[in-house]
């Protein structure tokens, strides 16, 4: 995974290193039942979905879902979530800076091994965990979907087109946009779309003067 250096000042939190990202993944994997944390790719998409809301979501509302993606329950006694939450806050801040500046960021999306009997992994399979996390945030915090105008339909449809059509019964307002979305040919294109659509949705929710956007294929781990 390719990473861009982020400027860190006294009022910002440092971007995670690759090693710290791996530590965060291990912390999520180690959380015991009944907690049901997301995988790290879904967590990344979730944070983006939170950050795209038209009004900032208070941390007390979005943070509990990080360790329990199913219900947002508190941790059982004896489970110290502070180290995990500290890393998540830093990723949240890193993504927030990139989105606010409308600049490229590297989504936490990873290559997959083909399933038994298959020769390759589809681009949708690569990005679906990230998109599912983002969609979960949009469902739990519906202000974006409730206020989305025409300029948000294309990026939303581009993301949602990776879902099975049977799972899009609640997306009838995107039907026209979904019908003209062309499938991507490669995983790199699908990953690039994650960033492109994020920045387009940011423009739709927080209009600002046109800015140059860096668009290039992602380098994935």
- What residues contact residue 145 under an 8 Å CB cut-off, 6+ apart? 138, 139, 156
Report DSSP letters for 71-132, one per residue.
T-PPPPTT---HHHHHHHHHHHHHHHHHHHHT----------PPPTT-S---HHHHHHHHHH
pLDDT at 206: 86
List the one residue out of 40, 186, 174, 182 whose CA is nearest residue 125: 186
Q: What is the DSSP letter of 38?
A: P
pLDDT at 1: 43
pLDDT at 89: 98
104-117, pLDDT tens digit by residue? 999 999 987 766 56
pLDDT at 164: 75
What CATH architecture applies to the domain 18-205?
Answer: Up-down Bundle (1.20)
List the one residue out of 89, 160, 167, 154 whose CA is nearest residue 127: 160
pLDDT at 166: 64
pLDDT at 85: 97
Q: Burial of 208 by CB count in 10 Å (0-12 exposed, 13-18 middle, 19+ buried)?
A: exposed
CA distance to 123, 190, 197, 210, per residue, from 206 (Å): 29, 24, 14, 12
| Residues lower than pLDDT 70 in the chain | 1-12, 114-119, 165-175, 177-179, 209-221
Distance from C-alpha of 106 to C-alpha of 67, rounded to nearest angstrom:
22
Distance from C-alpha of 19 to C-alpha of 5, rounded to nearest angstrom:
15
216 dihedral zone (left: phi>0; alpha: psi -120 to 50; beta): beta
25-63, pLDDT tens digit by residue? 999 999 998 999 999 999 999 999 999 999 999 999 999
- The domain limits of the chain are 18-205
| H helices present in the chain, as ranges | 18-30, 40-51, 59-62, 64-67, 82-101, 123-140, 143-147, 150-160, 175-179, 187-205
Stated pTM of the model = 0.85
- What residues contact residue 194 under an 8 Å CB cut-off, 6+ apart? 45, 107, 109, 127, 130, 131, 159
């Amino acid at each position: 995974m390719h990473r861009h250096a982020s400027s860190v000042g006294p009022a910002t939190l440092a971007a995670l290193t690759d090693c710290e990202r791996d530590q965060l993944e291990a912390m999520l994997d180690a959380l015991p039942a009944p907690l049901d944390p997301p995988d790290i790719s879904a967590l990344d998409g979730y944070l983006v979905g939170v950050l795209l809301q038209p009004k900032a979501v208070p941390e007390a509302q979005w943070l509990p879902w990080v360790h329990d993606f199913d219900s947002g329950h508190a941790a059982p006694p004896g489970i110290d979530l502070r180290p995990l939450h500290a890393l998540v806050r830093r990723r949240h801040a890193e993504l927030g800076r990139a989105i606010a500046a409308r600049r490229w960021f590297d989504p936490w999306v990873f290559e997959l091994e083909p399933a038994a009997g298959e020769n390759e992994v589809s681009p949708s399979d690569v990005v679906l965990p990230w998109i599912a996390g983002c969609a979960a945030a949009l469902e739990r915090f519906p202000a974006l979907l409730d206020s989305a105008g025409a300029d948000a339909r294309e990026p939303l449809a581009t993301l949602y087109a990776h879902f099975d059509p049977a799972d899009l019964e609640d997306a009838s307002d995107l039907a026209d946009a979904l019908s003209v979305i062309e499938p991507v040919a490669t995983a790199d294109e699908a990953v690039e779309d994650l960033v492109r659509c994020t920045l387009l949705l940011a423009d739709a929710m927080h209009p600002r003067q046109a800015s140059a956007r860096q668009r290039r294929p992602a380098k994935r781990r």
